[in-house]
Amino acid sequence: MKIGRIGLSVFAVCAAIVLGAAIDDPKDSLAEIVIESTEPTGAKVEKNDNCIIDYSGAANGYINVKYLESTSKTIKSQVTGPTGATYTYTIRKSRYEVLPLTEGNGTYKVTVLKNVSGNSYATVISASFSASMQNEFQPYIRPNQYVDYKASTKCVKKAESLCKKATTDLAKVKKVYKWVIKYFKYDYNKAKTVKAGYLPVLDTIYKKKKGICFDYAATMTAMLRSQGVPVKLVIGYTGSEYHAWINVYSRKKGWITGAIYIAGNKWKLMDPTFASTGNSSKTVMKYINNVKNYKAKYSY
One-character DSSP codes across the chain: -B-SS-S--HHHHTT---B----PPP---------------SSSEEE-SSEEEE-TTGGGTEEEEEE-S--SS-EEEEEE-TTS-EEEEEPPBTSEEEEE--S-SEEEEEEEEEEEETTEEEEEEEEEEEE--SSTTGGGSS--SSS---TT-HHHHHHHHHTTT--SHHHHHHHHHHHHHHH-EE-HHHHHHPPTT----HHHHHHHTEE-HHHHHHHHHHHHHTTT--EEEEEEEETTEEEEEEEEEETTTEEEPS--EEETTEEE---HHHHHHHTT-HHHHHHHT-GGG-EEEEE-
Q: What percent of the chain is modeled with pLDDT above 70?
A: 73
Q: pTM for this one?
A: 0.83
Instruction: Report phi then psi at 8, rounded to 5.
Output: -90, 125
pLDDT tens column, 112-123: 999 999 999 999
Average pLDDT over residues 26-40: 75
Residue 4: predicted pLDDT: 46
Q: Is the per-residue pLDDT at 40 higher than 50?
A: yes
Architecture of domain 45-140: Sandwich (2.60)
Q: Is the per-residue pLDDT at 124 higher than 70?
A: yes
Q: Is the per-residue pLDDT at 177 higher than 80?
A: yes
**Domain segments of the chain as ranges:** 10-34+143-299, 45-140
Q: Is the per-residue pLDDT at 49 higher than 50?
A: yes
In this structure, of 170-179, 267-276, 278-287, the range with the lowest mean pLDDT score is 267-276
Question: What class, spelled out in words, does domain 10-34+143-299 have in CATH?
Answer: alpha beta
Instruction: Return mean pLDDT, the chain.
Output: 82
Residue 276: predicted pLDDT: 55
Residue 3: predicted pLDDT: 56
Residue 51: predicted pLDDT: 97
Hey, do 10-34+143-299 and 45-140 end up sharing a CATH topology, with the first three levels equal?
no
pLDDT tens column, 204-237: 999 999 988 888 889 989 999 999 989 988 887 7
